[in-house]
Structure 1
């Protein structure tokens, strides 16, 4: 699913579940669970769970995340959806409970009005067995876009890994890690403004490396290593490094290149073999002999034939076309080896091994979903890594050391950086007719003066998004708005929209397009608020 769905979030999530998910045979706390199987070239198939929680049956229909994000005045939604990618060891197990403290790879929550919260992103370290944090955020951002979310808050919680990631990225690039995906600073500790946060992050990045050495000379027991590290990376860079920003950018960029080279050199899951690098030839043969009836010499013979076929294929097709399908490789091997069972066993066993300074690997083609084999020169496949090893650099360890022994020394004077604060991303409503010939509008209820004086004394919640054909009448828009409001909010379960327009009614016979523009906020009036329900505001009405 690549295209953004056409409706509002409350409708799009239903389309998504109906067409791209299957209902599980179990429930979690009496909540329905859907699973969507996703594919990663590195890890194969993994689940995305979607859990629908209804306010009517929920033990806690309110939302503390809305309250923290400043949305406590929103009406409680009829439904909210939990999106979860569990840790890898739980991929084949049922989802046992909805628990925000679990170390899921991804945990997001979106209310049916399109407002939601990114609660947890794991894989924060680049040696994760699955997604890096960037991979997870790319997926989450795409999911929110496809389903047409309206606002998503991301809370910088006081969790060690999240703080490290955010501040390291902030010092390197002058902005929060969340800002890479369009999130903007929304608020935090009292008195902390977006300007103050930005200025502090900028000041961290502008720290002069030579000044750091002088400042920490008598304050840090690791001063010798700090100076040596700066000198090594300056030598490696080949260009001047003046500030902590210069140093961190070099380290982060080079680390991503090393990760990519290692991944391209050998794309198989470390969890299958317990290794994170290609297996040596003899060790690979030994591992196969433990579980088969063939002697090692026959296994070696098949491997030599396979390597020969791969070399021949590369010579004909070049580096860019050196992948060969399993079936083609099997057919070629049968010309020299009569035992097809032996051939199949060896092909199945190959993941990634080295022979004569070559790397042989098996991977799944992301388009055909079929196994392919290729051959690469070991030095070419691992170029950035070999440079790192020659210089004695350990990037992940050095970045962490720099954070713990340099940045933390200066962060102490800016304690608010380790406190809770929020970033929010908005998906704007289109102010033009969409490609599907639809108009996106927000319908905002204007209560009566008596209602605002007695029952609805707080700031009015945001309008509800409706997507309609441009040529419908105002009367038909009134019906669409009524259905949307009833379907979305508990307090409006039986609400009747009596007019479009605030103080001045717009006649029902008029055509929407030309009367209101695409992307407009339209006031609606009506009757039927359920003031008897206790499920009114997301913050339980505490403010």
Structure 2
């Protein structure tokens, strides 16, 4: 066991001796563990932190709390969850680049962020060292430890105080964690659901053995790995939108295996072997590339880590009610296989096979039964493949010698009533095959795949790889309905329009902020409602610290009238207010939204109109930004000191020459 883990274990033991409560990792974040989550996001975070252990010296003066989580008892494994409250005054950057890249740059800057961290072993060791340090130590550097700024955490997620968040990193077993990636994601998903987060984004750059999972799982399942937890297309880079992304998924999934095999087997003999190997293991016909990757990934999830997998696929199962005896079925099977042998491993139509077999078997019903049952199963040392020709739409059959498919194939003989092949494959061999197909079909295509129907593969793969920003909507744009509660209280969801925003003044139709949950007593008046709305929006948004409600849209009521008597169930509540004091004026000047002072004008040939986080270059004449990739500047090359976009170059070429 590493010294880092020893230090972390010692830290947890010390904390437990102090009487700190230990929570179950597998249930933490569920309702009631440790608290009933029944309020707005902000209220839920506050309720959760009441159960945490207040820390010191961990985040450069910012408030932080820790929770001990028990992963399992035997063998004992405990981890620490840290929650750090980052006020806007302590932020290194006023603006959030993650909001900007995912398309939330128009959101107002919030007063606070909350970081949720499962630290790495190195970070736990650093926490322990920091906790042991003397507060009066003359060395000032010891007081500047900041857990948030460390890299390589098991998990790091951050929420703005309005409930919008970003999952910044997940590092599973391959990165030295004691937790698998899916365990970390289950934990994060429970937290987001329990806290009632609004929307959460992530930048999907996850890989396994050098394979980008968004491409691998996109081909197999039609969605990225994070799709298991409901994360979907959020925003594409290089001008990719959702319809383009979906078409790319469909195009690459639907590539016919028979055509790929025909074209690729010339360059890679292993391609045909791999296709046949997994067709032999499958109990159904695999027609497309999506079918193959789907089967291989599902098989991987069922295989033991080191052991082999035995697949028993009955080629012909003669039921007791079958009108042909096992002996007759066996004879017909041998005749059909011999007919296919004479075809010398080429594809032949069903009718051609049937006609050849009729010279020996007169019962056409028996032949039809055997032909139907034999498809994609093993007889003797051969795999009988059946496939619908994509051009002629006719069923075709072909034999493949499985001695080239499995390293040590067992001799397979016909028994009385059924043919049972036993094919073995290890998890290591499976991963090797997946990596081979990923590399030679999806990433490094031969020139044979650059023409015709196959030219769609590199294009579709590029589009899928350019779709990195995923989003999950945890609570819908809160339905703005009055919701009853216990203890004589009710909840109301309100949206705000700022009167002193010119773009909003014209019509006062569209609220510029997400709605907020307001909790009121059943006896609350309209005046109480206005005060509560002011308090909530002041707490959430930096610019609205002096926000004042003026009117409620489409509501004719006096300040002393009861809210429940004035507001109908399901009615949308929109308030109009202002923020006219000096603080608001200053904030107007430095910008109020997450995209900050970004005055970049993006007009790229790919269609992008906003900064998507990819490398950009500025035209020195028109001062318009474009992607370096789109203007053919490789990522490994430095940006040139002088750059002219194509339009400016053309204009210069047509300028009249000076005398």
Residue among 416, 425, 434 paired with 1:391: 425
The residue number in structure 2 matching 1:123 is 172
The Cα offsets for residues 190-219 of structure 1, whole Å up to 9 and x where unpaired, read as: 542212111211222222222222232344
SS in 1 for 2:197: coil
SS in 1 for 2:296: helix
Q: Structure 1 pair 129/103, CA: closer, same or farther in 2 (3 Å)? A: closer
- TM-aligned CA deviation for residue 242 of structure 1: 2.0
Residue among 185, 188, 191 paired with 2:233: 185
Q: How does 1:101-180 map to 2 (within 5 A)?
A: 102-123=151-172, 129-157=177-205, 164-180=212-228
The residue number in structure 1 matching 2:470 is 423
Contact 1:464 1:484 in 2 (8 A): no
- TM-aligned CA deviation for residue 150 of structure 1: 0.8
The residue number in structure 1 matching 2:577 is 526
SS in 2 for 1:238: coil
Q: Structure 1 pair 146/392, CA: closer, same or farther in 2 (3 Å)? A: closer
- TM-aligned CA deviation for residue 9 of structure 1: 1.0
Q: Structure 1 pair 147/97, CA: closer, same or farther in 2 (3 Å)? A: same
* Aligned-partner Cα distance in 2 for 1:402–1:514: 66
* Aligned-partner Cα distance in 2 for 1:494–1:388: 75
* Aligned-partner Cα distance in 2 for 1:10–1:226: 54
Q: Structure 1 pair 448/197, CA: closer, same or farther in 2 (3 Å)? A: same
The residue number in structure 2 matching 1:252 is 297
The residue number in structure 1 matching 2:61 is 30
* Aligned-partner Cα distance in 1 for 2:567–2:47: 28
* Aligned-partner Cα distance in 1 for 2:537–2:258: 61
Is 1:86 the counterpart of 2:122? The answer is: no
* Aligned-partner Cα distance in 1 for 2:517–2:210: 36
The residue number in structure 1 matching 2:7 is none
How many positions carry a matched residue from both structures? 413
SS in 1 for 2:78: strand
Q: Structure 1 pair 261/214, CA: closer, same or farther in 2 (3 Å)? A: closer
Q: How does 1:124-523 map to 2 (within 5 A)?
A: 129-157=177-205, 164-219=212-267, 223-258=268-303, 390-394=424-428, 395-408=430-443, 409=445, 411-414=457-460, 415-426=462-473, 427-428=475-476, 429=478, 431=481, 433=483, 436=486, 439-448=490-499, 452=503, 461-469=512-520, 471=522, 472-499=524-551, 501-502=552-553, 505-513=556-564, 515-516=566-567, 521-523=572-574
Would you tell me which structure has more helix in proportion to its own residues? 1
Contact 1:24 1:33 in 2 (8 A): yes
Is 1:539 the counterpart of 2:571? The answer is: no
SS in 2 for 1:154: strand
Q: How does 1:66-77 map to 2 (within 5 A)?
A: 66-77=99-110
Q: RMSD over aligned Cα, in angstroms?
A: 3.6
* Aligned-partner Cα distance in 2 for 1:236–1:224: 19
Contact 2:120 2:153 in 1 (8 A): yes
Q: Structure 1 pair 434/195, CA: closer, same or farther in 2 (3 Å)? A: farther
Q: Structure 1 pair 417/495, CA: closer, same or farther in 2 (3 Å)? A: same
* Aligned-partner Cα distance in 2 for 1:131–1:434: 40
Contact 2:114 2:160 in 1 (8 A): yes
- TM-aligned CA deviation for residue 159 of structure 1: 7.0
The Cα offsets for residues 215-238 of structure 1, whole Å up to 9 and x where unpaired, read as: 32344xxx2223222222222223
SS in 1 for 2:303: helix
Is 1:53 the counterpart of 2:99? The answer is: no
Contact 2:37 2:44 in 1 (8 A): yes
Residue among 32, 47, 50 paired with 1:18: 50
* Aligned-partner Cα distance in 2 for 1:18–1:52: 13
Contact 2:41 2:196 in 1 (8 A): yes
Task: Normalising by structure 1, report the TM-score.
Answer: 0.67
* Aligned-partner Cα distance in 1 for 2:547–2:525: 20
- TM-aligned CA deviation for residue 46 of structure 1: 0.7
Gaps of 5+ in 2: 1-28, 131-144, 308-420, 446-455, 600-659
- TM-aligned CA deviation for residue 161 of structure 1: 7.5
The Cα offsets for residues 386-435 of structure 1, whole Å up to 9 and x where unpaired, read as: x9994344233333333222222365323232225422222122557366
Is 1:2 the counterpart of 2:51? The answer is: no
- TM-aligned CA deviation for residue 11 of structure 1: 1.6
Q: Structure 1 pair 411/469, CA: closer, same or farther in 2 (3 Å)? A: farther
The Cα offsets for residues 68-90 of structure 1, whole Å up to 9 and x where unpaired, read as: 12211211111001112223454
* Aligned-partner Cα distance in 2 for 1:526–1:515: 20
Gaps of 5+ in 1: 263-386
Contact 1:441 1:521 in 2 (8 A): no
Q: Structure 1 pair 240/389, CA: closer, same or farther in 2 (3 Å)? A: closer
The residue number in structure 2 matching 1:278 is none
- TM-aligned CA deviation for residue 16 of structure 1: 0.9
* Aligned-partner Cα distance in 2 for 1:535–1:388: 68
Q: Structure 1 pair 412/450, CA: closer, same or farther in 2 (3 Å)? A: closer
Rg bigger for which structure?
2
* Aligned-partner Cα distance in 2 for 1:531–1:396: 60
